[in-house]
Amino acid sequence: MRRLSRTIVVGAAVIALTACSERTPLGPNATASDATNTLAHPASTNIIGHSVSVRTGNGAPSGGHYTLNIIGVDRNKTAPMTGDNGHRIFVPLWGNPKIMLSEGPDFAVLDANGTDGEAAFELPNPDPNGTGTTVYSVFARALGTPGGKSLTTTCAIDPFDGSEVCSMITLTLERGKGKSTFDNVSKYLLYIYADINGDGVLDRVGLFDGGLQGYFWDYDNLGLKLAQLRFYDCSTTVPVATDPNGPQTSGCLK
Ligand SMILES: [Ca+2]
Ligand SMILES: [Ca+2]
């Protein structure tokens, strides 16, 4: 029986906090009013209360955000697209690529071509202290021709035996008829719910926690043309480890 390495976790938190002090706003889509509203002070309620306070018509918060479009294509891309930071990742319309995740101060597409089986995306540590309350939140919706859906599961590698560990909760994005609205999907995309220490009790592991490595989104596309993710500068408190299907609470949509 083993435990998460707290030493590594604490070390990562210090690095993340250092990075925070130099962090720029959420991205090119951020509005001028968000210029002072960086993630540098995650404990401040002002971040949530003032910039992200109104639900817009599509179910998303208002305010600055970074958008990532995951685009399903029926022909493989041949261009390398490494370092192509265009806010979009191409994936097979039918297929099961990995979107490799790496920690960084900003949101950035590092490899836009997932049609070769693997894409890469950089994002900040969502929960540097492992409290279950994030420093930013992810909203998602399905767009494109009705009928398609995708299944996204957050996974990582167990450093002790190299096995793949996936969250027991999977985000389903399904394009129905009519208007497509955003939902807060933070617990699906920013955490892994799994028993990683083998004691028979579920654990909750935030992205980039030192207890696992090689984090990625397993993206199983079943004909979805466009999955749109938006990252907002507001916090979400996700369910406890033993109740992954429980509700999230969030200050994003006050
Ligand atoms: Ca690739
Ligand atoms: Ca456990």
Nearest ligand, measured from the Cα of 205 = 2
What pLDDT digit, counting tens, does each position of 202-245 carry? Answer: 999 999 999 999 999 999 999 999 999 999 999 999 999 999 99
- Dihedral class, residue 131 (left if φ above 0, else alpha if ψ from -120 to 50, else beta): alpha
pLDDT for position 253 = 86
- Cross-strand bridge partners of residue 154: 217
In the reported structure, the alpha carbon of residue 199 is separated from the centroid of ligand 2 by a whole-number distance in angstroms of 5
More confident residue, 125 or 81: 125
Number of Cβ within a 10 Å radius of residue 239: 18
- How high is the pLDDT of residue 170? 98
Residue 55: its pLDDT value, please?
A: 63
Centre of ligand 1 from the C-alpha of residue 49, in Å: 39
The amino acid at residue 172 is T
Which of 25 and 170 is assigned the larger pLDDT? 170
Total-model pTM = 0.79
Pairing verdict, β 65-73 and 88-92: parallel
CA angle, residues 28, 155, 105, in degrees to nearest 5: 30
Tell me the ligand closest to 241's alpha carbon: 2
Q: Is the dihedral of CA 64, 66, 68, 69 positive or negative?
A: positive
Q: Which ligand is nearest to the CA of 4?
A: 2
What's the pLDDT at 7? 40
- Among the listed ranges 59-73, 82-96, 140-154, which one has the minimum average pLDDT value? 82-96
If you count them, how many residues does the chain have?
254
Specify whether the CB–CB gap between 236 and 184 falls below 8 A. Answer: yes
- If pLDDT is split at 50, 70 and 90, which confidence band does 194 have? very high
Domain definitions of the chain by residue range? 6-250
Q: How far is the CA of 188 from the centre of ligand 1 (A)?
A: 23
pLDDT at 33 over 60: no
Burial of 108 (0-12, 13-18, 19+ CB in 10 A): middle
Q: 178 or 56: which carries more pLDDT confidence?
A: 178
Average pLDDT, the chain: 82
β-strand pairing of 98-103 with 118-123: parallel
